[in-house]
Amino acid sequence: MESTATAPSAAQTHGPLAPPAPGSIFHTLDRTARFPYTFKEYARRFAWEWVQRTLIRFSPRKAMRWRSFWLRLFGAKIAPHSGIRPTTSVTHPWLLEMGDYSVLADGVTIYNLGPVTIGSHSVLSQDVYVCAGTHDYTRPDLPLQRKPITIGHGVWICAGAFIGPNVHVGDNSVVGARAMVAKNVPPGVVVAGNPARVIKNRPMNPLP
């Protein structure tokens, strides 16, 4: 006769999660820096977050110049014909530079703990996440690393893609939707996947 018994659960087998043996965990969060930024930077972030959550978030969709004004006021270098949407999130505007005719679409996150530079005629589509910050996982105190990201001219980063720290995306390249980019992207190619890889050269047909 076939048994109807079921395997015991983890809780039944092991009981409550026991504390680890001393020294068995490599990184311990009680040793991480509580305040990794300067007081001045915290103050600027506080002021910027208030502006971003009010004056920018509730601005009309077409009010690119209004949002660019506030970005520049907080130190961003934004060319005259570039800008962001109301729901774009920028962590440190003073570490953002955008060339002309570039746009950050709805839901884009620029988590620029380090500098982020975007060339001219480039577009970051909806929900792209640009992450210019990480931690050194080889050390037990996980120190913050503020690594730069550079996105070239004529680049299209499609919806939901992730661009990791210390990455350079070459001119005229396309990053596919939901791609995870952890390494440099050569110019003039199409990359896709997780992790992203080159799948072909970008066709560049002339206008008819």
Threshold 0.75, pTM exceeds: yes
Q: 10 in helix, strand or coil? A: helix
Is residue 22, in this structure, part of any structural domain at all? no
Q: Are 190 and 200 in contact (CB under 8 A)?
A: yes
Q: Which of 27, 135, 153, 168 is catalytic?
A: 135
CATH of the domain at 86: 2.160.10.10
In the DSSP assignment, the letter for residue 80 is T
Domain membership of residue 165 (yes or no) is: yes
**Are 6 and 13 in contact, with CB atoms under 8 Å apart?**
no
CB atoms within 10 A of CB 202: 14
* C-alpha span between 18 and 184 (Å, rounded): 42
For residue 208, tell me if it sits in a domain. Answer: no
Q: Is the pLDDT of residue 2 over 60?
A: no
- Is-catalytic flag, 153? no
pLDDT of residue 17: 77
Alpha-carbon dihedral sign for residues 117, 120, 125, 126: positive
What's the structural domain count of the chain? 1
For residues 189 and 169, the answer to whether their CB atoms sit within 8 Å is: no
Q: What mean pLDDT comes out for the span 183-189? A: 98
> Per the structure block, which two tokens stand in for 96?
């953002």
Bigger pLDDT: 78 or 30? 78
Q: Is residue 71 assigned to a domain?
A: yes
Q: pLDDT digits over 160-173, tens only? A: 999 999 999 999 99
**Residue 9 is assigned to a structural domain of this protein:** no
Helix H or strand E encompassing 125? none
Does residue 31 form part of some domain? no
Kindly state whether residue 205 falls inside one of the protein's structural domains. Answer: no
Range of the domain at 168: 38-199
Whether 176 is covered by a domain: the verdict is yes
